[in-house]
């Protein structure tokens, strides 16, 4: 049996891949960049970058998110780690994937220096992506769906003020399933929401009431109770 010296192991790099999910017009989308450099030049990819040698993983994910979108202080959720020896053509790169949930309409997307283009792409017509990014994206989406059922992350995707129907449509899209309106509202009765006096504008039907998630009350209640978001 051969023995490898400790330092010989230091021949690999880590990256973070940062899946940014957004929701708009009844669809969940992912923010992709068009690579302006080799390898996989001109292919669409999940925004990602190598981790600096003295940088924490989550910090790196937040940096990538900031560099790409200008967003700060977004909760990053660790997804999974992908490390097939040949997944990166230039060397051994193990990538830790994180995902963030944001409101698409809350900010303007700009292609940063090393990305040729940046675009929201619907999960339903995803092109072939660079590296193993199709795989990373689809398994991360599965993890998002798990989280949607157990934590109040849906409110990171919805606008700050939303109608109950928008709320329902998000779950209907994610789980590809229609829900009964009356029953859906009974189920969410336990989730603390703030009811505003404000209503929908410019709709040609009865305007819906707007709600916000009451995070503070939720967090106080979570200490002793457990919530579920299975719809």
Partner DNA sequence: GCAAAAGTGTTTGGATTACACCCATGC
Partner DNA sequence: GCATGGGTGTAATCCAAACACTTTTGC
* Interface residues toward a second copy, by CB under 8 A: 4, 6, 8-14, 50-57, 78, 80-85, 90-92, 94, 96
Q: Does 199 bind DNA (CB under 7 A)?
A: yes
Q: Does 209 bind DNA (CB under 7 A)?
A: yes
From 168, 49, 69, select the one nearest 59 (Cα to Cα).
49
Q: Which does 181 bind (CB under 5 to 8 A by kind): a second copy, DNA, none?
A: DNA
Among 3, 25, 72, 205, binds DNA (CB under 7 A): 205
Q: Which does 83 bind (CB under 5 to 8 A by kind): DNA, a second copy, none?
A: a second copy
Q: Cβ 134 to a second copy, closest distance in Å?
A: 19
Between 133-150 and 164-175, two packed helices, what is the crossing angle to 10 degrees?
A: 130
CB closer to a second copy out of 82 and 162: 82
Residues in contact with 13: Cβ distance below 8 Å, sequence separation at least 6, in sequence order = 50, 51, 91, 92, 93, 94
Stretch that binds DNA, among 19-27, 45-53, 70-78, 202-210 (CB under 7 A): 202-210
What is the phi-psi region of residue 100: left when phi exceeds 0, alpha when psi lies from -120 to 50, beta otherwise?
A: beta
Q: Does 180 bind DNA (CB under 7 A)?
A: yes
Residues in contact with 17: Cβ distance below 8 Å, sequence separation at least 6, in sequence order = 46, 47, 48, 95, 96, 97, 98, 133, 136
Q: Does 206 bind DNA (CB under 7 A)?
A: yes
Phi and psi at residue 174, to the nearest 5°: -60, -40
Cβ-in-10-Å burial (0-12, 13-18, 19+) of 148 comes to buried
What is the pattern of x (binds DNA, CB under 7 A) and - over residues 115-154? ----------------------------------------
Footprint of DNA (CB under 7 A):
163-165, 180-183, 185-187, 199, 202-209
């Amino acid at each position: 049996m051969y023995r490898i010296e400790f330092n010989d192991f230091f021949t690999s790099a880590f990256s973070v891949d940062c899946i940014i999910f957004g929701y708009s017009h009844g669809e969940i989308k992912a923010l992709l960049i068009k690579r302006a450099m080799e390898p996989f030049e001109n292919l669409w990819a999940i925004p990602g970058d190598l981790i600096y040698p003295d940088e924490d993983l989550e910090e790196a994910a937040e940096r990538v998110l900031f560099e790409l979108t200008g967003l700060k202080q977004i909760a990053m959720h660790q997804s999974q780690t992908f490390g097939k020896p040949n997944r990166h053509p230039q060397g051994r790169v193990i990538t830790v994937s994180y995902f963030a949930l944001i409101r698409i309409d809350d900010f303007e997307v700009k292609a940063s220096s090393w990305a040729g283009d940046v675009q929201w792409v619907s999960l339903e017509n995803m092109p072939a992506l660079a590296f193993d990014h199709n795989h990373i994206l689809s398994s991360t989406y599965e993890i998002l769906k798990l989280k949607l059922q157990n934590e109040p992350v849906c409110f990171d995707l919805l606008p700050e003020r939303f109608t109950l129907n928008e709320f329902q449509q998000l779950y209907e899209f994610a789980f590809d399933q229609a829900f009964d309106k009356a029953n859906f509202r009974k189920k969410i009765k336990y989730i603390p929401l703030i009811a505003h006096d404000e209503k929908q504008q410019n709709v040609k039907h009865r305007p819906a009431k707007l709600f916000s998630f009451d995070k503070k009350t939720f967090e106080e209640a979570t200490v002793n109770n457990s919530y579920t978001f299975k719809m």
